[in-house]
Structure 1
């Protein structure tokens, strides 16, 4: 009826998305066996990319409608929301959650069920120990600021910050605007957005099958290098055609090259910083700071999504092709950060993550020798 209806609807959508992004990665990390935790968690990101692709298709279709196309586009979003709501009724609680609420026998039974074996004593003991430590924590937000949680705090704040400064949301939010600016027509711009959305889906599937084999660091680093090269090349290509004045037009060949570079960039993000931006923060926190940590991850992510979304069109007007160099510079910084400060977490049980930090050249000094998970880790290694 009016703009307020749109704003209120968007706020409600934001609350729903915030709740989902807070709970789903943590739920998956707590339920999944360590050896396939990455693949299952990235299933979350894959579902998001399929949703983005489906939304691009819907937008392309409803753009052809003479009346109420935008109403149909927005209204169809109720379908996945309904599926999620009904599906959530059938989800069991995680063993961690059951232990936290004193239902220890139910927790053991659930652990046996999801691991497919009765031999769960060691993992169950880890969960109980983590729960006991967690109960001593009165304020998770105050606790997460303690020096012993410094690695998790820094990485949980910086990963979502860096994820948005890859520039991906500029591409995904404004793909039709961007392609139209580059000389594609209205329909061609929407179709180009559909193409980049399809690339997003397939590349995320690649991540599902490689994250537990090659590890988080390998995907972070390869994706970072690929994104950096594509952004510099795209910026140079646009500069060669439009210069600073903005006058010029893409030939068909150069237009296709720009689309190809953007798709290669989207692919790099979709198998690296996209899914890993949700996976790594959700798996590195001990139980006592896990909810606070994931809240921080989602909040930082959404805040900088908002900032980039608000500033992008102004930045495009002022920086022109330099916008791609701006994001390319940030991708370089974050790739260096990963190389030096993010340890490998593949195949590490979630309650034994402290041994990863303890053995790291920089973060090790923050982890006390009596930190939970270290004793069991030594025992398991010896066994």
Structure 2
């Protein structure tokens, strides 16, 4: 232990030290940039498989013919390609499930650095798969990069949330999704037929997953560890103080340190909560259900059907291959712009309003996607309309459902159950990712133009649940959110505040006593 808790006040600044709230410093900027490279990695590998679909299928057929002197049959090819797409989510599930343990065992900073080994291994398999005539290497690489991204979907939002002050936590949390959209957009641009999305360079397109990892390896060593991890998990208050001073750009970090001390003191009244304990804990059941539903609302909205198969979706609506490839890049471009717009709105309008607005818009435009697909043959301009409504559908996704589920779990739970809650939520997210990635081609085959109707039904159900139960967390400290659990304000007609989670009642009473003694 670096120092005993409570001894670092002597190192704090004079009373006239500048406040640390909301200040964007050089260290904070570098830390955010480096962490967001993990988000870029996730986005890149989500979108990269879309444009070269035909080229990869051709490679599968050529490889099978090269090895067995016979072409691969159509059903086997469809199943293998669906596996290739969806196994990314299998790796993501494993990585997401391990993310909490990984974050606590290795730390947020070193955990991200270590995670890059999987990306470099996957990149090598992608690069050499064509020379080896092995589509199996691509499948294994997709599993590895999925594991890498699964860890990032837990590590990156956790790190960003823990290094931020309450007044910019929403903005920094949104940067995870901003990084994801950058990755998706880059994968779509680089996937143009005239760049890497062709029969000669598609393996390079896949192998460029090493680029975000290389950037993080070069920048993360200069970043401080999460102060909350150092103090609350490792009990190294001097190290946490030094990290705070670097991140805030001032030695006046009393407010941040006091908040973490109070949370740490509250944690002393209970043991660390693992996944199994969290699942059994009645006082945390509702926040866990809310967290899971938030992630379900993201993945079962149908957005990954757009990310993975928009090229095929557009061509089935009558768009030419070249135009479909370029229209697909519009998805990434819109995601990028909309995520930038929502960064300042996250701490002004709030998470709840943005998420509900996003789901409502997706509900309406998922219906329009079905209509335009169904009447393309009868209305000539509906092929173009299908592209337009699909892009507007993405606009509403980027407004809230794209980013808020990743940050909301860290806000709804205090340090004790936080990593376990994130592991469960991320596991659910990736499981649904896998389900959509694998099943949607079959849905297209069986339901034809009505393949989006199941997502429409899910969107309506999620909107109703979230409207009733999701609290607003903007500009609130973790202690403030925690201390108000079980305080239902439904009598006052405020559904937003109906459920706000915390630890056990004993912890709430302890925190209230701490505040009354100040």
User: Superposed, which structure 2 residues align to 1:287-298 within 5 Å?
Assistant: 287-298=415-426
Partner of 2:302: 167
Look up the match of 2:477: 349
Structure 2 CA distance for partners of 1:186 and 1:374, relative to 1, 3 Å: farther
Matches within 5 A, 1:1-383: 1=132, 2-61=134-193, 67-99=199-231, 100-134=233-267, 136-145=270-279, 146-241=281-376, 248=377, 251=380, 253-360=381-488, 361=490, 362-363=498-499, 368-372=504-508, 375=511, 379=515
Task: Report the CA distance shift for 1:310/1:250 in structure 2 as closer, same or farther (over 3 A).
Answer: farther
Residues 291, 367 of structure 1: alpha-carbon distance in 2 compared, 3 angstrom cutoff: closer
The one-character-per-residue Cα deviations of 1:140-172 (angstroms, maximum 9, x if unpaired) are: 213312112113211222211221111000001
1:184 positional shift: 0.8
Please give the per-residue CA displacement for 1:185-205, whole angstroms capped at 9, x wherever unaligned. 111111110112111111111
Q: CA deviation at 1:239?
A: 2.1
Greater Rg over alpha carbons, structure:
2
Q: 1:21 to 1:37 in 2, by over 3 A?
A: same
What is the TM-score normalised by the length of structure 1? 0.90
Aligned length: 375
8 Å contact 2:162–2:228 — kept in the other structure?
yes
Per-residue CA deviations over 1:31-79 (Å, capped at 9, x if unaligned) read 1011110111111110110110110011114677764321121122211
Choose 146-155 or 174-183, whichever is displaced more: 146-155
Asked if the contact 1:354–1:374 (Cα under 8 Å) also holds between the matched residues in 2, the reply is no
The verdict on how the C-alpha distance between 1:212 and 1:378 changes in structure 2, with shifts beyond 3 A counting, is farther
**Deviates most, 346-355 or 65-74:** 65-74
Report if the CA contact (8 A) 1:156-1:297 is conserved.
yes
| Maintained 8 Å contact 2:241/2:257 | yes
Q: SS of 1:371's equivalent?
A: helix
CA contact (8 A) 1:353 1:373 kept: no
| Partner SS, residue 370 of structure 1 | helix
Give the RMSD, CA atoms, in angstroms.
Answer: 2.5
CA positional deviation for 1:26: 0.6
Larger displacement relative to structure 2 (48-57 or 81-90): 81-90
Q: 1:371 deviation in Å?
A: 2.8
**2-side partners of 1:128 and 1:38: how far apart?**
22
Structure-2 change in CA distance of 1:118 and 1:90 (3 Å):
closer
Cα distance in 2, alignment partners of residues 310 and 321 from structure 1 = 18
Query: Gaps spanning 5+ residues in structure 2: where?
Result: 1-131, 491-497
**CA 377–218 in structure 1, closer or farther in 2 if over 3 Å, else same:** farther
Q: Is the 8 A contact 1:200 1:267 kept in 2?
A: yes
More moved, 317-326 vs 285-294 = 317-326
Alpha-carbon offset, residue 332 of structure 1: 1.0
Deviation of 1:80 after TM superposition, in Å, equals: 1.5
Shift of 1:285: 1.4
Q: Distance in 1 between matches of 2:395 and 2:330?
A: 11
The question of whether the paired residues in 2 share the 8 Å contact of 1:192 and 1:259 is answered with yes
Q: CA deviation at 1:278?
A: 0.7
Aligned pair in 2 of structure 1 residues 325, 290: CA closer, same or farther (>3 Å)? same
Contact kept? 1:169, 1:309, Cα under 8 Å: yes
Contact 2:365 2:392 in 1 (8 A): yes
Structure with greater contact order relative to length (CA < 8 Å, sep ≥ 6): 1
Q: For 1:292 and 1:326, how far apart are their aligned partners in 2?
A: 30
Per-residue deviation, 1:376? 5.4
Query: What is the rounded CA distance, in whole Å, between the counterparts of 1:364 and 1:80 in structure 2?
Result: 36
